[in-house]
Structure 1
Amino acid sequence: MAKAKTPGGRRPSMGAKVQSAAAGQTVTVDAPAPKKRTSPGQFVSQVQAEGRKIVWPSRKETWITSVMVFIMVVLAAIFFWIVDTGLGFAFRQIISFGS
């Protein structure tokens, strides 16, 4: 869904009045209510609660993922070595035509 464009390409600031060109009406936009501040104790308890939700991978999962990354790095290195060698060969052939 496309967003409606405002005149001048700018969005109205909070608490500003917006005037519709077509209808000639003025609409007042209310500023959002200020957010409730969290005390340091509540913040620490919320962080601990979020920390308890973390699911850490097992040693086996970590090992398998590491091996897979290593295999992909080796495959990518071989691929780029082959491409580099092929392009180098082609470049030398093109250059040799001129001499």
Structure 2
Amino acid sequence: MARKPGSSPSAIKNRAARTAAALAPAGQAAAAAAPKAPKKPFNPVQFFREVRAETRKITWTTRKETWITSVMVFIMVIVASLFFLLVDWLLGAGANLLLKFAAG
């Protein structure tokens, strides 16, 4: 059975050290912090290779799926607009009725 990422003993120790440093008072946290590893230089060629690899993983919808989804959205817009039209009409009628009683 494969291990989950970050479940190795060294990863667990690193997480425990970071948690302890975050919970320690400010003066102790700065002294206990390990020096940071040097930052890797940015490689644009490698970046675009990775972007291309991730783009290949995308599953695009078919024309039929896009059409069905668009029709469903259109139907929901009509249903929602009819609902809000009805609610607006009822609240407006109620407000007019209340104002007639108040003026009368």
TM-score by length of 1: 0.71
Q: Distance in 1 between matches of 2:98 and 2:91?
A: 10
Q: Distance in 1 between matches of 2:35 and 2:96?
A: 68
Q: Determine the structure 1 residue equivalent to 2:83.
A: 79
Match of 2:50 among 20, 36, 46: 46
TM-score by length of 2: 0.68
Bigger proportion of residues as helix: 2
Consecutive unaligned residues in structure 1, runs of 5 or more? 20-25
Higher relative contact order (CA 8 A, sep 6+): 1
Match of 1:66 among 67, 70, 75: 70
Deviates further, 78-87 or 33-42: 33-42
The verdict on how the C-alpha distance between 1:79 and 1:44 changes in structure 2, with shifts beyond 3 A counting, is: same
Q: Determine the structure 2 residue equivalent to 1:18.
A: 28
Q: Distance in 1 between matches of 2:93 and 2:46?
A: 65
Q: Aligned pairs, how many? A: 83
1:40 to partner: Cα distance: 1.2
The verdict on how the C-alpha distance between 1:68 and 1:31 changes in structure 2, with shifts beyond 3 A counting, is: farther
Q: Determine the structure 2 residue equivalent to 1:98.
A: 102
C-alpha RMSD of matched pairs (Å): 2.5
For 1:41, the aligned partner's letter is V
1:27 to partner: Cα distance: 6.0
Bigger proportion of residues as strand: 1
Q: Distance in 2 between matches of 1:71 and 1:65?
A: 10
* 1:55 matches 2:77: no
